[in-house]
Amino acid sequence: MEVTSTPSPTRLDNCDAALLAAFAMVVAIGTWQRCLLVNDGAVFLTAGWLGNVWDLSLSQNPPRAVSLLAMFGPAWLLRGALGLSAEAYVVVAHLLYFAVPLLLWAAIRAVEPHPAFARLYLCLAMALVFFPSEVIVAIGLWLVWAAILVKPGRSRAFAVLATAGFAVPIAFTHPVTAAMSLLYLLAGGLLAATGRPFPRHALIGAAIMTVLLLGAFFLTDAWRSGGNPTGDAWLAAARYDYVDPVWMIATIGAYPLLALLWLLMLAPSLGVAIPHQRLPPILVLVIGALGLWFAANGSGLLTWIFARQTGPYVLALSLALAITSPPAQWLAEARRPIMLFACLMAVAALSYGFDLALFGRAVEARLATLTQRADAPPALLDSREPDTSPWGTQPAPRLALRGYFKWMAADHYVRDLVVPDYGGNRMTFAFYSYFRSGRRVVFYRPLDREWVPFVCAPVARALADTRDDIDRRFLRFLSEGYCVH
């Protein structure tokens, strides 16, 4: 049982054009609005600016080293090689970060025997990329392995060797790949048992990959500590989010856009692999119409965070179904759902970008009155104090409408929802304000019972080799309240 190769693997069709156009919009909006500075990416970018990114930050999570170095290592290297300014560094870091999924997409296209591989990857990557998830690199490498394995003519020996070789880097990306491999194995086995042409050597490889990645997870989980107990506790608290069905259903309930995106990813594969389960064209259009509503009115920071817990499984299942069908048939079935997916992501990116623009405008307005407060920048301002807070008053309680109609989720949308969500209630606001103000102001709040982003020993080492007095003062600030011993 073999997969028939796609006849023109290098040609871009309308689906590719739509996905790439939507991805270009995501890159443009994300870079323009500095999307990585409102989430965990702010810690990694700050580490790369202040010193050795591995020593300051990435070494705290060795089991995900491959993903983290791929996403944030190149910007650090270029910063040192080119002597970039802070503003140029942030822009270059965003562009290099967004280049990672694009390069992985190109690598998948170069080896894929079926058009589903690269298209499904680009769909999922767009739904993840606004938040710096290690899953982006993990799934890209996993798909390169899966694509190589299902090419016609592969032997069992090749399947074993290729799987063992790819398991090593994949094991240091993200543990969700172990669960993906298991689902892929189970779906492929069921399809093969019911007479569908799922390649036997792919089943062998999937079984080996599942065992290797599960073993690697338990080994690296015991070795995970990078010297930051708060970071270890934060990861431990979320360790079951990827396998807890109650939590995963809750995330989709909170942000229905995710359910509609996943249905569009599954639709073409269901249509060709199980014809009686094919979604009627009118239903696909209804899903797209509903998706437009939620993309415009329910996209926010948590949308991209929650996408990590369910998206990988949708991709694995859709891929298993897709590779049992002729490429031309899958392409024909995929055209409408994939183009609708691209449209929804473009609208969601615009909606999210609008939030980021509102947040940036609110912070800029406050910065304009505060940048002269310190004789020696950066000025260190406690964001809880009424006279320095970016919003001026305490935010009102938020309603549970953010994933449905976010504009009505608070009495004052910017003050009560946008600013707290993207800044005032987040540890990363200190780094956002540092770069946004041109290193003149730091809005901070004391950290209590949460992830403290740095370890004090690397911060002390960075202090011995700083670029200028501004960075030196910022590192001293980090050493006093944003690091653990």
Residue with tokens 């028939």: 4
Are 347 and 396 within one domain? Answer: no
Is 62 among the domain residues?
no
Is 344 among the domain residues?
yes
Is 4 among the domain residues?
no
Are 290 and 426 within one domain? Answer: no
Are 241 and 299 within one domain? Answer: yes
- Alpha-carbon torsion 71, 63, 135, 143, what sign? positive
Are 122 and 19 within one domain? Answer: yes
- Three-state SS annotation for 318-336: HHHHHCCCCHHHHHHHHHH
Is 223 among the domain residues?
yes
**Confidence (pTM):** 0.93
Are 375 and 350 within one domain? Answer: no
Are 304 and 398 within one domain? Answer: no
Taking alpha carbons only, the member of 75, 59, 451 closest to residue 225 is 59
Domain boundary among 325, 355, 385: 355
Are 320 and 213 within one domain? Answer: yes
Domain boundary among 320, 355, 390: 355
In tens digits, the chain (485 residues) has pLDDT values of 455 545 455 678 899 999 999 999 999 999 999 999 999 999 999 999 999 999 999 999 889 999 999 999 999 999 989 999 999 999 999 999 999 999 999 999 999 999 999 999 999 999 999 999 999 999 999 999 999 999 888 888 898 999 999 999 999 999 999 999 999 999 999 999 998 999 999 999 999 999 999 999 988 876 666 678 888 888 878 888 999 999 999 999 999 999 999 999 999 999 888 777 788 899 999 999 999 999 999 999 999 999 999 999 999 999 999 999 999 999 999 999 999 999 999 999 999 999 999 999 988 888 887 655 556 789 888 877 766 665 555 555 556 678 899 988 877 888 888 888 888 778 899 999 999 999 999 988 888 777 899 999 999 999 988 889 999 999 999 999 899 98
Is 229 among the domain residues?
yes
Cα–Cα distance for residue pair 429/418, rounded to 1 Å? 13
Is 56 among the domain residues?
no
Is 53 among the domain residues?
no
Give the CA distances from residue 182 to residues 12, 156, 200, 324, 370, in Å, rounded to whole numbers and listed in that order. Answer: 32, 19, 15, 18, 54
Taking alpha carbons only, the member of 180, 189, 162 closest to residue 217 is 180
Domain count, the chain: 2
Structural domain for 137, as ranges? 15-29+113-355
Cα–Cα distance for residue pair 143/358, rounded to 1 Å? 37
Domain boundary among 355, 380, 413: 355
